[in-house]
Amino acid sequence: MKPNKNLLIALSVISLILLTACGLFNFAKEVTEVASEMKEFQESYDVGQPVDSGDKDGPQQVSGQDIDGVPLYRGAVRVGYLRQTIDDLVSTAVQYLVPASFEETMDFYRDEMNESDWTVKSQMETGEMFIMEAEDEQGGKLTILIHTDHDYEEQYTFVAIGYEIREE
């Protein structure tokens, strides 16, 4: 018996449609799962919102909290804030613009952190960037990153401070 060419084409098209439908179903299922995870993610974090600081020429301040026990350079403006909880891990990231040179800011954090209750674990300087890692008595991990901020013609130095701790 000779196969009917039209029947073969029809079966091929139907197979393609079924495979595509199965693929789209799996894709839709994956999208639904990701959307559900995104909703849980969005509910687990707090993002700083712009605050009217009255200074129209300087950096825009955002809401949020400073990290307890971390020294803050006088005049620093909080320009970024994110706090997130996933399971028992609480992560906080705060970004500042400091009205001082890179060297002054780096020296401040070196001196203040060595005099504080934090245990400095490592420090690294590479030209326009400085990174310090420290721990507190509760086992929290702190990272401080400092670099020159070119957006403000070197009037400010950028400082990012990250802190992670497991809740009990």
Using one digit for the tens of pLDDT, what is the confidence trace for 117-143? 899 999 999 888 899 999 999 999 999
Judge if 18 and 68 occupy the same domain.
no
Half-sphere exposure in the Cβ direction for 40 (13 Å, CA): 8
What is the domain range of residue 124?
A: 46-166
* Claim to verify: residue 60 and residue 141 sit in the same structural domain: yes
> How far is residue 149's CA from residue 160's CA, in Å, rounded to a whole number?
11
The CATH number that applies at residue 94 is 3.40.1000
Q: How many structural domains are present in the chain?
A: 2
| Shared domain check, 74 and 11 | no
In this predicted model, what pLDDT tens digit does every residue of 68-123 receive, in sequence order? 999 999 999 998 888 888 888 888 899 999 999 999 999 999 999 999 989 999 99
Same domain, 35 and 50: no
**Is residue 98 domain-shared with residue 115, that is, in the same domain?**
yes
Q: Do 133 and 158 have their domain in common?
A: yes
